[in-house]
Amino acid sequence: MKLAIISDIHGNLEALTKALSIIDEKRVDEIVCLGDVVGYGANPNECLDLVRKRCSVVIKGNHDEAALDPGGPHDFNPIAQQAIDWTAGALIPENRDYLRARPMVCRIEEALLVHSSPRSPELWEYVVSTENALDALRSFEERICFIGHTHVPGIFSPSGRSKTVTKEERHLVNVGSIGQPRDGNPMLAFGIFDSDAWSYELVRSEYDILRAAEKIIAAGLPRELGYRLMYGM
């Protein structure tokens, strides 16, 4: 099976539509989403509509959950909280119900899908170091686990950071972010996993960042959320 694995769209319709056009060219069997469809960007409903149509599996992310209860005890900085409050007000009832029903974890063949660390998905832990990754690797039995959440792509194995996946070792793979990369590279990121060949490809692409940023500012969201797209921060 050939899977396209997307994550952390964050209401960025321009990035999502570009990613889907690339995925269509790659002729995958299924598209799965690791969560955070909303938050930060100006098109939460439009992104949710596309994800609902195109993805066979959609995991719940922390921004998805927060948008359902913006006054809850979420650990967000003031700018992120403003975006959550705006998103909560923008979501139509149908999409709120859809987000509420999303699972925290899903399994497809030998792969585990989760938004944050598989060690305790409901705690929204970040995997930002090799030590974090080793803890996460000890918490699941599948051969490979795909995550998002940090917006920084990377591959980890029990041996440390890796450049590719192999059947000889188990792996934790962060597919990066469609709508708000944070690795200093503003290009959108997602993964393609072929379970037959047991191969993984990180896909990066330019998209209309200026349009996405202009829509954020026009919507009355914090201007910083638009500017940061241009720098991959």
Cα(212)–Cα(195) distance, integer angstroms: 34
Cα(61)–Cα(65) distance, integer angstroms: 6
For tokens 């349009």, what's the residue?
Answer: 211
The pLDDT value given to residue 53: 97
The pLDDT value given to residue 63: 97
Average pLDDT for 181-188: 97
Judge whether residue 44 has pLDDT over 90: yes
Q: Work out the number of other CB atoms within 10 angstroms of the CB of residue 21.
A: 11
The pLDDT value given to residue 41: 98
* HEC-encoded secondary structure of the chain: CEEEEECCCCCCHHHHHHHHHHHHHHCCCEEEECCCCCCCCCCHHHHHHHHHHHCCEECCCHHHHHHHCCCCCCCCCHHHHHHHHHHHHHCCHHHHHHHHCCCCEEEECCEEEECCCCCCHHHCCCCCCHHHHHHHHCCCCCCEEEECCCCCCEEEECCEEECCCCCCCCEEEECCCCCCCCCCCCCEEEEEEECCCCEEEEEEECCCHHHHHHHHHHCCCCHHHHHHHHCCC
Band (71; pLDDT cuts 50, 70, 90): confident
Judge whether residue 198 has pLDDT over 90: yes
- Ordered by where they begin, the domains of the chain are 2-112+182-230 (3.60.21.10)
For tokens 């995958």, what's the residue?
Answer: 28
206 backbone dihedrals φ, ψ, rounded to 5°: -75, 160
Average pLDDT for 161-181: 96
Cα(143)–Cα(93) distance, integer angstroms: 38
Band (72; pLDDT cuts 50, 70, 90): confident
Judge whether residue 74 has pLDDT over 90: no
Q: Token pair of 92, please?
A: 């139509």
Judge whether residue 3 has pLDDT over 90: yes
Tell me the pLDDT tens digit for each residue of 222-232.
999 999 999 99
CA distances from 199 to 2, 33, 100, 113, 216 (A): 9, 19, 33, 16, 36
Judge whether residue 114 has pLDDT over 90: yes
Cα(85)–Cα(71) distance, integer angstroms: 8
The pLDDT value given to residue 73: 78
The pLDDT value given to residue 176: 98
